[in-house]
Structure 1
Amino acid sequence: MEYMILIYADEKIYSDMPQAQMAAMMEEYGRYTEELEAAGVLRGGSELAPVHTATTVRLRNGKVVSTDGPFAETKEQLGGYYLIDCANLDEALHWAAKVPSAKDGSIEVRPLVTHG
């Protein structure tokens, strides 16, 4: 079954982070990604551009309304994701707990819907 690992954190933490600390965290993400690949569960993933680059689209009364930024004001923003293929939710949660940003953010695990 495929699961999305959605990575949420306060972007301000990363923009204020010293360069050496950021480099260490990115190395940790590299090792995590390699571990997912070695286990054969990784299907995709990416870091997202900062939330100020987002555009939210709504359809209201038949008209498209777009707004700069995310759809809601929150303390944590979606910063990236991994798409993994696991035997069950327990295995997906195992991998989610290893996401480096789990230490200071939150990780949402959500199964993909399959049709047919």
Structure 2
Amino acid sequence: MKQYLLSIYQPDGNPPPPDVLEPIMAELGKLNDEMKAAGAWVFAAGLHPPSTATVIRDKDGDALLTDGPFTEGKEHLGGFTIVQAADLDEALSWGSRLAGVLAPLAIEVRPIAW
């Protein structure tokens, strides 16, 4: 089986208030449990805001560190799930389910190159 990265993109800014976020997180927990039961779930994580990021570039053999996200934008990577799937269609099916739970957020599905 191949592994796929399901990237969750979200707008910059504060998260939704608890009365909005809690039901979404409950549905996400159910979907994660379903992925686990199906043997598809490998790993998932949420990320801290992009302002906590540090970008490292090599400059003549020295590490050059810069605060903040790699790119500026109105959306950022907020979290991800890694799934095992027989093929892209199966991975897209899980990605579609995730998009349904997290609507209107976008989900990007990409194969992992091992």
Length-normalised TM-score, structure 2: 0.89
How many positions carry a matched residue from both structures? 111
Stretches of structure 2 lacking an aligned partner (at least 5 in a row): none
Superposition map of 1:10-25 within 5 A: 10-12=11-13, 15=14, 17-25=16-24
- 1:66-103 alpha-carbon deviations (Å, 9 max, x no partner): 111110001111111111110000000000011122x2
Residue 29 (1) aligns with residue 23 (2): no
2:87, 2:32 → 1: CA distance?
19
CA apart distance, 1:16: 5.1
Query: Counterpart of 2:112 in structure 1: which amino acid?
Result: L
Change (3 A) 1:11 1:35: farther
**Superposed CA RMSD:** 1.3
Q: Say if 1:73 and 1:87 are closer, same or farther in 2 by CA, change over 3 A.
A: same
Structure 1 runs of 4+ off > 2 angstroms?
60-63
TM-score, normalised by the number of residues in structure 1: 0.88
When you count strand as a share of all residues, which structure comes out higher?
2
1:107 alignment partner in structure 2: 107
Residue in 2 aligned with 1:98? 97
Q: Percent identity?
A: 37
Q: Which moved more, 1:80-89 or 1:49-58?
A: 49-58
What corresponds to 1:2 in structure 2?
3
Distance 1:91 1:34, change over 3 A: same
